[in-house]
Structure 1
Amino acid sequence: MVGEVERTDYAPQGTIMDDLRVLKAMWFGNIKGGSHQDQLESFYNKQAHLYDQYRHRMLHGRKPLMMKMPVQKGCVWVDLGGGTASNVEFFSKSVMTDWFDKVYVVDLTPSLAKVAKKRVADNKWGGKVEIILGDATDPKLEGLPPSGSCDVVSISYAVTMIPNWKDVLQNAYRLLKPGGHICVCDFTLDAKSQWSASKKFWKYLFSTDHIYLNEEHITTLQTMFEEKHLEVSYGTFPYVPRLLKCPYYAFIGMKK
């Protein structure tokens, strides 16, 4: 449609050997550390450079969220828990135009932030895209834009990994201007149609990697923001039988 920001279907390709390295890190990695940051770094530091090639085939909510994310000219966008800045790739043809005034990518994990900084340099996004290493729940994090100044805040597959997850939603609310939009996608539990055994299976399996599925995420978003879009679907995982699917959601809401 004429007058809309140009978007790209970001789908990086990897090799079987890349996948094996990621699977080794996921299945046999020893998550350790006293702080949440240390735990994340211990999990990602051996797979950060291969993160996108593997994860885009299991994080199914990212594409529909990025394809529907509201963008107006002069947009200020904050991507909380943005990892390697791969979400910016969906706007690779327009991020350096007047559609975006500034993009901030915030992540707590040094190895992922390092990949994000390399992505910015490789794509020559400097001046428009800024990588901030820090806690997405911290309203005083240095480098964040002022309260009430942002058009869009996105959080993709990070809420389930943040122990104090309500704080990141509060931080998003604080950053948004009235009429601004929050865009969130993540794994979830399907209250309407998912079997009880399936809920228990996925909840336990994800918890072994310090990922905590919670039905309250969606209901809390619906309470805090005016719902504009919600889809709940089921997605597969690489090298896992296709019958084993986990629910995920993509939510877009507006700050009232």
Structure 2
Amino acid sequence: MSAVAEAGDQRRLMDATYKLHRHFYDLTRKFYLLGRDRLIRELAPPPGGTVLEVGCGTARNLIVAAKRWPQARFVGFDISEAMLETARKSVERQGLGARIRLAQGDAGAFDTGALFGLETVDRVFMSYTLSMIPPWQRAIELGAASLAPGGSLHIVDFGQYERLPALARRLHFKSLNDFHVEPRGDLPKVMERVAAQQGLAMAFTPLLRGYAWSGTLTRPR
């Protein structure tokens, strides 16, 4: 199957999955998408800098980040038009239409120039999106490649429950599978590979006894 066909299949799957659920997505996710606000606090974009969210969903994170960092500009894309419909309404309702731009795009084949007219960005973040993206390794590669000198890529996603009870891991992973979510056990190795290939510095931190994993890739100035 071609990459274009796979992207189309993923778009249809996400639209079908979240056509209804998007209306109460943020209310339910706040209880277990842990570490998102920690990531946003650590973004610290430079004055006038640009921040990209890959897989922006309902734009909840972009809105929180835009309020936290008022001196920066924000852009985000998602493969699901259903999610973007909700995202656009939320951005406008918060009066942030001038500072947050949204587009439809595929995380496995995105180009910041084509989507937003940006050659590079200062920050990229991926919050609980890699576990839903089939070409997740390619998304990391592209996110890192889009960084300006001194820029950083920030990731938070489900970990492997390495210091939590095995039963909790089995039950939670089963529930995640119902929403086509697959925690990426190879995330540290993939980040190490991308860091080596692109000359980036890497940091990686398990959170909450391995419930979540947090990592950054930083391009030298």
Match of residue 216 from structure 1:
186
Match of residue 107 from structure 2:
136
Match of residue 124 from structure 2:
153
Match of residue 86 from structure 1:
60
Question: How far off its partner does 1:195 sit?
Answer: 5.3
Question: How far off its partner does 1:183 sit?
Answer: 0.8
Alignment of 1:189 onto 2:156: no
Unaligned 5+ runs, structure 2: 1-7, 196-200
1:204-229 alpha-carbon deviations (Å, 9 max, x no partner): 44223211122111332244242245
Alignment of 1:75 onto 2:49: yes
Q: Distance in 2 between matches of 1:94 and 1:62?
A: 13
Identity %: 19
Question: How far off its partner does 1:165 sit?
Answer: 0.7
SS of the equivalent of 1:35 reads helix
Letter in 2 for 1:247: Y
SS of the equivalent of 1:178 reads strand
SS of the equivalent of 1:173 reads helix
| Structure 1 contact 78–103 (Cα < 8 Å) conserved | yes
| Structure 1 contact 153–183 (Cα < 8 Å) conserved | yes
Spell out the pairing of 1:31-42 with structure 2 (5 A cutoff): 35-42=9-16
Aligned positions, number: 207
Q: Distance in 2 between matches of 1:146 and 1:104?
A: 10
Rg comparison, structure with higher value: 1
Q: Distance in 2 between matches of 1:47 and 1:73?
A: 36
Q: Distance in 2 between matches of 1:52 and 1:232?
A: 21
Letter in 2 for 1:90: V
Match of residue 139 from structure 2:
168
Question: How far off its partner does 1:199 sit?
Answer: 4.5
Q: Distance in 2 between matches of 1:219 and 1:233?
A: 20
Match of residue 5 from structure 2:
none
Structure 1 residues 155 and 37: alpha-carbon distance in aligned structure 2, compared to 1, 3 A threshold:
same
Question: How far off its partner does 1:200 sit?
Answer: 4.5
58, 61, 74: which one aligns with 1:103:
74
1:68-126 alpha-carbon deviations (Å, 9 max, x no partner): 1232101111100011111123234455x4x21x3111111112111111122112222
Letter in 2 for 1:208: D
1:122-157 alpha-carbon deviations (Å, 9 max, x no partner): 12222321111121221347424444x210000001
Q: Distance in 2 between matches of 1:105 and 1:133?
A: 9
SS of the equivalent of 2:148 reads strand
| Structure 2 contact 66–99 (Cα < 8 Å) conserved | no
Please identify which structure carries the higher helix content.
2
Q: Distance in 1 between matches of 2:66 and 2:138?
A: 30
| Structure 1 contact 155–183 (Cα < 8 Å) conserved | yes
97, 119, 125: which one aligns with 2:96:
125
TM-score, reference length from structure 2: 0.83
Unaligned 5+ runs, structure 1: 1-33, 235-245
TM-score, reference length from structure 1: 0.72
Alignment of 1:206 onto 2:176: yes
| Structure 2 contact 152–216 (Cα < 8 Å) conserved | yes
Match of residue 13 from structure 1:
none
